[in-house]
Structure 1
Amino acid sequence: MAKILTFGVYDYFHLGHLRLFEQCRKYADYVIVAVQNGEYIKAFKPEADVLYSTEERVEMISALRIVDEVVVYNTVCPAELEKIDFDILALGEDHVGKRFDEITVWCDAHGKKVVRLKRTPGIASSQIKKELKG
């Protein structure tokens, strides 16, 4: 059974997140969603406007039938990835830069496949936050 891992904050849960999980299911029988720890977010981005606690976000994602397992992470790095049993890492098309290059190299070295998934056009948490603040 193949296990796929994707990660995010998932604070303003929306259709784009659900479609991400649906894309993940096409690659694997078991979908693991990593939810970023709110305390970690606040420690490194004190100005961040996080609506739901880590526990609330885990509860919401766990309630989805398409998701098999939810874990909490601080930041995406090899040390965090080593803690999770997965075969495939799903990155978004916007996950670019040194940090993502490092985890791609780690995945290659540890026999993990990396797939790039498309964003849902016209939907973004940052856009939702901006519209709500009006």
Structure 2
Amino acid sequence: MKTVFTNGCFDVLHRGHVELFKFCRRIGDQVIVGLNSDESIRRLKGDDRPINSIKDRKMILEELRCIDKVIVFDEDTPYELIQSINPDIIVKGGDYTPEEVVGNDLAEVVIFGTIHGYSSTEIIKATSDR
């Protein structure tokens, strides 16, 4: 059984995220998503984030058929979580290179191409500019 891991904030879920999760399902048997805690997001992105609470973000992800398990982590990177899960494959979006992916020494890294026009940061920025 191949375990696939991906992670992120998934603060404003959009089509690009769903396509990423579907890709993970296509290449593996079990899909585990590491989800940044609210505190972790604040440290990484600032005090005005997240938009959606951890409770809401986790519930939405758990409802997606292509995801088997969602694990919240509070660290700034998912390295310790990846070590504990020991996945076969780590998948990240096209804004990363394999060398930049946290845990690239622990599992095979696969980069999923970015779907242009879909970015949580850009969606948040566009709605706040209105």
Q: Same fold (TM over 0.5)?
A: yes
**Unpaired runs of 5+ in structure 2?**
none
Q: Quote the residue 2:21 is aligned against.
A: 21
Looking at structure 1, the residues matched to 14 and 80 of structure 2 have their Cα atoms a distance apart, in angstroms, of 29
* Pair 55,92 (structure 1): closer, same or farther in 2 beyond 3 Å: same
CA contact (8 A) 1:38 1:50 kept: yes
TM-score by length of 2: 0.86
Deviation at 1:77, TM superposition (A): 4.7
Q: Quote the residue 1:60 is aligned against.
A: 60
Q: Quote the residue 1:84 is aligned against.
A: 85
**Unpaired runs of 5+ in structure 1?**
none
TM-score by length of 1: 0.84
Looking at structure 1, the residues matched to 72 and 116 of structure 2 have their Cα atoms a distance apart, in angstroms, of 27
Matched AA of 1:83: S
Structure 1 stretch displaced more, 47-56 or 64-73: 47-56
Looking at structure 2, the residues matched to 87 and 97 of structure 1 have their Cα atoms a distance apart, in angstroms, of 15
* Pair 122,75 (structure 1): closer, same or farther in 2 beyond 3 Å: same
Q: Quote the residue 2:76 is aligned against.
A: 75
Looking at structure 2, the residues matched to 67 and 121 of structure 1 have their Cα atoms a distance apart, in angstroms, of 23
How many residues matched? 128
Give me the identity figure in percent: 28
